[in-house]
Amino acid sequence: MIDILFTAFLLIIVLLGIHSFFGVEIIRRGIIFTDLAVGQMAAVGAAVSLYFFNGEFLYPIAVLFAVITGLIISFASKFDKEIEAFIGLIYAFGISTVFIIFSKYPHGMEDFQNLMATDILFVSLDTVLKVAILYIFVGIALYFLKNKDIAFFVLFSLTVASSVKVAGVLIVFSILIAPAYIAIKLFNKHLFIYAWIIGFFINAFAVYISYQFDFPTGYTVVFFNAFSGILVAIYKIIKEFQL
């Protein structure tokens, strides 16, 4: 049990390390569903690889689809006042495309489930270390290019595509948005640090519960992230109402 949970907890720490920063930035920019759209288009790239190339070139194709999507959103956000609607349409386009491709693929629904939320209990330590190394370089690049929008979206898309491959679209979205949302609601400073800490406890608890009760790990993680965010939102509404 300890070995399985240790690797899953380590993956959570690695994912939160970069996604906590991106989550705060995405919420601040008012483009919350960018992660879902980019992640879903990375899934389209993965589906294309599985169907047309038998899974070869899966990662580079997924990254290519994600980066192109990120660049489109970066460009559109400067001119489209209804940018969230546009991003939502990209997500709808992506998920429908995946369904269409996998409808003609023998193991389509199984692969679709994995693309949406993977069982992170069984991720290998080698995979976690590779992702950690990649995100260290992404973090360094962000530090030097933090004021450049195009660089931000390219690095964001690369990160999301890599995370989707390991964890799935919904897990990546929940880890990116929920801890950052809770941190913004409860604190005024050091949001990245608070998001990381909050995210670790939520997701570590979710993984433990999924293991203890044999729940699907990916969807348990999504559930507890979403549930925690909703609870904090309700708490803030009640607090404001009382004032």
- Tens-digit pLDDT profile for residues 70-97: 999 988 888 877 888 899 999 999 989 9
- Rounded CA-CA distance 142/124 in Å is 27
Please report which confidence band the pLDDT of residue 3 belongs to, taking 50, 70 and 90 as the band edges.
Answer: low
DSSP for 1-15, please give it: -HHHHHHHHHHHHHH
Per-chain mean pLDDT for the chain = 86
pTM for the full predicted model: 0.84
Q: Is the pLDDT of residue 25 over 80?
A: yes
* CA–CA–CA angle 14, 113, 122 (5° rounding): 45
- Distances, alpha carbon 231 to alpha carbons 147, 174, 184, 190, in Å: 34, 14, 14, 21
The amino acid at 56:
E
pLDDT band of 68, cuts 50, 70, 90:
very high
Q: How confident is the model at residue 104 (pLDDT cuts 50, 70, 90)?
A: confident
Rounded distance between C-alpha atoms, residue 49 and residue 58, angstroms: 5
For the chain, the straight-line distance linking the first and the last C-alpha, in angstroms and rounded, comes to 47
- Percent of the chain with pLDDT strictly greater than 90: 25
pLDDT digits (tens, 9 = 90+) for 180-207: 999 999 998 889 899 999 999 999 999 9
pLDDT in tens, 198-236: 999 999 999 989 888 988 888 899 999 999 999 999 998
Domains delineated in the chain: 2-242 (1.10.3470.10)
